[in-house]
């Protein structure tokens, strides 16, 4: 039985909620070396394909850098900090996209994700900037791990406002400081609700001993897409979710962060505890 099926069956038993689709990857079965370049060959449900890295963000599968010394994903910077380069490392697409009515699969209203990360450096790196986003047609969430006066911080930014004049990006900054080179786990749940300014994102950050360090509850980026003049050319369309994105386009050149044990799913209804179940199962599996 595949790891994805094992996780899906186990979490369904814990949470009492069926998945529309689930994807997991600990990178041990992926070949080492750079993620293949070229055009985006992803297709919904095709777990073999990732969107390759680009001129700003480098992606590399490497031995010995994953959690517990296994194989993992290196996210690095090639020296290009252009803010216009947003198509960075995208994971495979789920079969069923989660979203509001008309922007996701019928009845699929929640997207859950879990992954581990650590900075590549064990000492402060001036200007380090590692971002993770849930992704569909475009980014929908925005979690930043960044350097601030030598400290390693975390910030979740949601978007509020009902017109372009009042679209604001909210900062939810972790009040503590993270440890350079230490492993952390992120769990994120996105609940879509029809209409503007009401989708809910819950982001949780755990340390390597599975202690909860921080919870941020805010919005998706839906209002940015609905009302921003920057998105008028795209029809101001709200986006759903079917993948993750990792990027380091503003970091110094070289390795920025390591990523391991990713899992994400779309489900047809709110399921309290589902996102926690994904992370806890991954934790128990790796430590066995």
pLDDT one-digit tens code per residue, 131-182 = 999 998 788 999 999 999 999 999 999 988 766 566 788 899 999 999 999 9
Asked whether the predicted pLDDT for residue 279 surpasses 70, the reply is no
Asked whether the predicted pLDDT for residue 280 surpasses 50, the reply is no
> In the predicted model, what is the mean pLDDT of the chain?
83
Query: What pLDDT score was predicted for residue 143?
Result: 97
167 and 158 in contact (C-beta within 8 Å)? no
CA 14 to mean position of chain CA atoms: 23
Asked whether the predicted pLDDT for residue 102 surpasses 70, the reply is yes
Strand positions, DSSP E, the chain: 21-25, 33-34, 57-62, 72-77, 89-90, 110-119, 129-136, 143-148, 151-160, 168-173, 184-191, 200-207, 212-218, 241-247, 254-267
Query: What pLDDT score was predicted for residue 2?
Result: 36
Measure the CA angle with vertex 205, ends 199 and 208; round to 5°: 155
Percent of the chain with pLDDT over 70: 78
Query: What pLDDT score was predicted for residue 181?
Result: 98
What is the Cα Rg of the chain in Å?
Answer: 18
Q: How many CA atoms lie within 13 A of 142 on its CB side?
A: 18
* Residue pLDDT, tens place only, 27-69: 999 999 988 655 666 777 776 688 766 778 889 999 999 999 9
Query: What pLDDT score was predicted for residue 184?
Result: 98
From CA 56, how far away is CA 165, in angstroms rounded? 31
Written as six digits, the tokens of 199 are: 């989708």
Query: What pLDDT score was predicted for residue 101?
Result: 92
CA distances from 21 to 7, 136, 197 (A): 11, 14, 26
- Phi-psi category of 237—alpha, beta or left, where left has phi over 0 and alpha has psi -120 to 50? beta
Asked whether the predicted pLDDT for residue 119 surpasses 90, the reply is yes
CA 80 to mean position of chain CA atoms: 21
From CA 192, how far away is CA 111, in angstroms rounded? 8
Query: What pLDDT score was predicted for residue 226?
Result: 84
Confidence of residue 285 (pLDDT cuts 50, 70, 90): very low
- Mention every residue, 6+ apart, whose C-beta is less than 8 A from residue 165: none
Query: What pLDDT score was predicted for residue 288?
Result: 39
Q: Cα-flanking dihedrals φ and ψ of residue 5, to 5°?
A: -70, -40
* Residue pLDDT, tens place only, 62-95: 999 999 999 999 999 988 776 566 668 889 899 9
Written as six digits, the tokens of 92 are: 């495979």
- Mention every residue, 6+ apart, whose C-beta is less than 8 A from residue 284: none
Query: What pLDDT score was predicted for residue 43?
Result: 73
Written as six digits, the tokens of 74 are: 């290196």
Structural domains of the chain sorted by starting position, each given as residue range(s) with its CATH number in brackets = 3-287 (2.60.120.260)
From CA 40, how far away is CA 24, in angstroms rounded? 20
DSSP secondary structure letters along 226-285: HH-GGGGGGTT----EEEEEEE-TTSPSEEEEEEEEEEEEEESS--TTHHHHHHHHHHHH
- Which of 266, 275, 233, 288 is closest to 103 using CA atoms? 266
From CA 266, how far away is CA 213, in angstroms rounded? 25
- Which of 108, 147, 144 is closest to 125 using CA atoms? 147
Q: How many CA atoms lie within 13 A of 221 on its CB side?
A: 22
Asked whether the predicted pLDDT for residue 234 surpasses 50, the reply is yes
């Amino acid at each position: 039985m595949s790891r994805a099926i094992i996780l899906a069956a186990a979490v369904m038993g814990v949470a009492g909620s069926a998945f529309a689709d689930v994807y997991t990857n600990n990178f041990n079965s992926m070949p080492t070396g750079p993620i293949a370049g070229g055009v985006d060959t992803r297709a919904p449900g095709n777990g073999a394909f990732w969107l390759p890295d680009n001129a700003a963000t480098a992606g590399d599968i490497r031995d010995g850098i994953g959690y517990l010394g296994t194989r993992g994903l290196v996210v690095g910077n090639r020296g290009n900090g252009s803010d216009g380069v947003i198509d960075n490392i995208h994971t495979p697409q789920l079969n069923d996209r989660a979203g509001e009515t008309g922007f996701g699969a019928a009845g699929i209203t929640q997207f859950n994700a879990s992954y581990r990360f650590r900075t590549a450096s064990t000492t402060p790196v001036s200007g380090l900037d590692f971002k993770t986003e849930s992704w569909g047609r475009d980014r929908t969430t925005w979690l930043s791990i960044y350097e601030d006066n030598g400290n390693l911080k975390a910030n979740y930014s949601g978007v509020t406002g009902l017109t372009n004049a009042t679209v604001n990006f909210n900062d939810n900054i972790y009040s503590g400081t993270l440890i350079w080179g230490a492993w952390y786990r992120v769990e994120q749940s996105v609940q879509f609700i029809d209409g503007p300014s009401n989708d809910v994102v819950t982001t949780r950050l755990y340390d390597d001993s599975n202690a909860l360090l921080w919870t941020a509850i805010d919005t998706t980026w839906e209002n940015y897409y609905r009302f921003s003049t920057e998105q008028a050319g795209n029809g101001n369309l709200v986006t759903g979710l079917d993948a993750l994105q990792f990027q380091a386009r503003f970091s110094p050149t070289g390795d920025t962060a390591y990523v391991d044990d990713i899992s994400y799913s779309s489900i047809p209804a709110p399921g309290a505890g589902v996102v926690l179940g994904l992370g806890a199962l991954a934790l128990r599996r790796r430590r066995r």
